[in-house]
Chain A
Amino acid sequence: DTGVSQNPRHKITKRGQNVTFRCDPISEHNRLYWYRQTLGQGPEFLTYFQNEAQLEKSRLLSDRFSAERPKGSFSTLEIQRTEQGDSAMYLCASRRESYNSPLHFGNGTRLTVT
């Protein structure tokens, strides 16, 4: 497998701008997850897709955040009106259908909001 790919690797934006990140999962994986990670902390769950359906969304997730997975392939995460507190590493992971299949993570997109 070619692994989970995330683009861009780094993004610097000014407060108030919108940003969009892309995740290409491993091709046969139908489950896709987005996490956010700040320095010194573990990943924090944001949202989860099974194929194209968004099944779970963190209650802590602001409505400025939206994610899509059209056709159940790649996914995008958009943040509108960015704030300095959005600065973090955004991680995407995918896995197979079976119950305990492990998560495969990409190397993330590091967002810096100035």
Chain B
Amino acid sequence: DAKTTQPNSMESNEEEPVHLPCNHSTISGTDYIHWYRQLPSQGPEYVIHGLTSNVNNRMASLAIAEDRKSSTLILHRATLRDAAVYYCILRGDSNYQLIWGAGTKLIIKP
């Protein structure tokens, strides 16, 4: 599984949109891009995933670059409950060994 690169931390104001970037320059054609988040003292929680096209669900949107070497998780209106560590990971043919980096710690300011 290829690796991803994310900023260590980001800050945002409550009720504003948040764009969390992820670089995955070694992504292969069959790798899906998955995002999870982890709130304090909890296990990770699935957020969204995509392959080529942008994706939306009730939690977030995923924008994938045309060359697929980067993606952005978009939280449209951040709340204090969105403060968490966000992980961008690639899932290929292997069975979810998944290489998890340290993720991005999102801090939401009231």
Q: How far is the CB of B32 from chain A (nearest CB, A)?
A: 6
The yes or no answer to A21 lying at the interface (CB within 8 A) is no
**Contact check: which of B42, B49, B97, B100 meets A102 at CB < 8 Å?**
B49
* Contact-size category for A: 20 to 34
Give Cα A56 to B1, complex, Å.
Answer: 14
Give which listed residue, B32, B45, B98, B101, contacts A100 with CB less than 8 A. B32
How long is the Cα–Cα vector from A22 to B87 in the complex, in angstroms? 25
Asked if A4 is at the interface of the complex by the 8 Å CB criterion, the answer is: yes
What's the least CB distance linking B17 to chain A, in Å?
A: 24
- The answer to whether the Cβ of B21 comes within 8 Å of any Cβ in the partner chain is no
Q: Which residue of A lies closest to B87 (CB)?
A: A42
- Chain B contact residue count (CB 8 A cutoff): 20
Does A44 reach chain B (CB closer than 8 Å)?
yes
CA of A29 to CA of B5, assembled, Å: 30
Query: How many Å from the CB of B89 to the closest CB on chain A?
Result: 8
- Contacts between chains A and B (CB distance < 8 A), count: 50
Please give the distance in Å from A85's CB to the nearest CB on chain B. Answer: 19
Q: Give complex CA distance A104, B96 in Å.
A: 12
Identity of the chain B residue whose Cβ is nearest the Cβ of A91 in the assembled complex: B43
Please, what's the 1-or-0 string for A68-110, where 1 marks a CB less than 8 Å from any CB in chain B? Answer: 0000000000000000000000010101000010111111100
Residues of chain B contacted by A108 (CB below 8 angstroms): 43
Residues on B lying within 8 angstroms of A by beta carbon are: 32, 34, 36, 41-46, 49, 87, 91, 95-98, 100-103
Residues of A at the B interface (CB closer than 8 Å) are 4, 31, 33, 40-45, 48, 50, 55-56, 58, 91, 93, 95, 100, 102-108
Name 13 interchain pairs, CB-CB below 8 A, sorted by A.
Answer: A4-B43, A41-B100, A41-B102, A42-B87, A42-B101, A45-B96, A50-B95, A56-B97, A100-B91, A102-B34, A103-B36, A103-B46, A105-B43
